[in-house]
Amino acid sequence: MTSTDATTTTDAADRIDPADLDADAAARGELYRLLARAFEHPDEPLHRDLRDGTFEVTCRRLLDRTALDVDVPELTTDEEYEALAARYNDLFAVGFAEYEDRTDGSLATSGPPVPLYEVEYRSDVSWGDVNVDLARAYDYYGLSVDEDARDNHDNLRLELAFAGYLARRAALDPDEGAAGARLDFLDRHLGVLAEGVADALDAEYDTGVYGTLGRFLDALVAADAAELGERRERGEVP
């Protein structure tokens, strides 16, 4: 996800006094950024952070800065890098292919067991409705999908990146409306996707650290939405 006004964003960041930030909202933004990273195809730095506990410790430290009541599970792995990458591919990237009838050689294929796209967990709306709605939301904030990525707007990593972006905007200006926009986004999009991914992982056997990440993702999104909803009822979220 890219900004259409990167220069202005950078200049503004240079003028920000950390004391003026809402530390709670900023921490939530970083948590979403970490989870977006966790659901990318693993690179060696991510593998190292998962293996030595850095990822888990960082999540705990960030949650301690928020008002969210979320337990951080054991977000570590003892797998070698190649095994972790293969597990990611098996769960999220590579579909299955198996012979159903050995007599005629018919081959049954399907997508990955845990899709990372919102539309796969929505029976109530079309692909176009979901992705057009997301494109409009991204565009409203001057954001767009990186053309080099060539991915759909409803990809989990993009939705997590957007939730993090809205949280960081709320950290800069709590009255600007980004917190309310994030609540609507969580209710209408990311909450559905996070729950779907967590349930799909729970249905699979031996998911390793990704099963734990899925449950943590779902718990974080649900807690963020619930807390924002309570604040909106009190008139604290515009």
| pLDDT at 34 (0 to 100) | 97
**Is residue 105 a part of any domain in this protein?**
yes
Closest by alpha carbon to 110, among 119, 100, 101, 102? 100
Find residue 107's DSSP bridge partners: 99
Q: Is 10 exposed, middle or buried (0-12, 13-18, 19+ CB in 10 A)?
A: exposed
**Is residue 118 a part of any domain in this protein?**
yes
Q: Residue 108: which CATH number?
A: 1.10.3480.10
Helix axes 209-233, 191-202, angle to 10 degrees: 150
Dist CA 225 CA 145 (whole Å): 24
**Is residue 66 a part of any domain in this protein?**
yes
pLDDT digit string (tens) for 32-41?
Answer: 999 999 999 9
Closest by alpha carbon to 118, among 156, 80, 162, 68? 156
Domain count along the chain = 1
**Is residue 238 a part of any domain in this protein?**
no
Domain that holds residue 174: 2-233
The residues, ordered by sequence, that sit 6+ positions from 40 with a Cβ below 8 Å of its Cβ are: 46, 157
| pLDDT at 195 (0 to 100) | 98
The residues, ordered by sequence, that sit 6+ positions from 4 with a Cβ below 8 Å of its Cβ are: 142, 143, 144
| pLDDT at 69 (0 to 100) | 95
In the chain, pLDDT over 90 holds for what percent of residues? 77
| pLDDT at 94 (0 to 100) | 80
**Cα dist from 191 to 4, 53, 103, whole Å:** 27, 27, 45
| pLDDT at 16 (0 to 100) | 52
Counting as low any pLDDT under 50, the low residues of the chain are 4-15, 97-103, 105-109
Dist CA 129 CA 192 (whole Å): 15
Closest by alpha carbon to 183, among 135, 157, 139, 221? 221
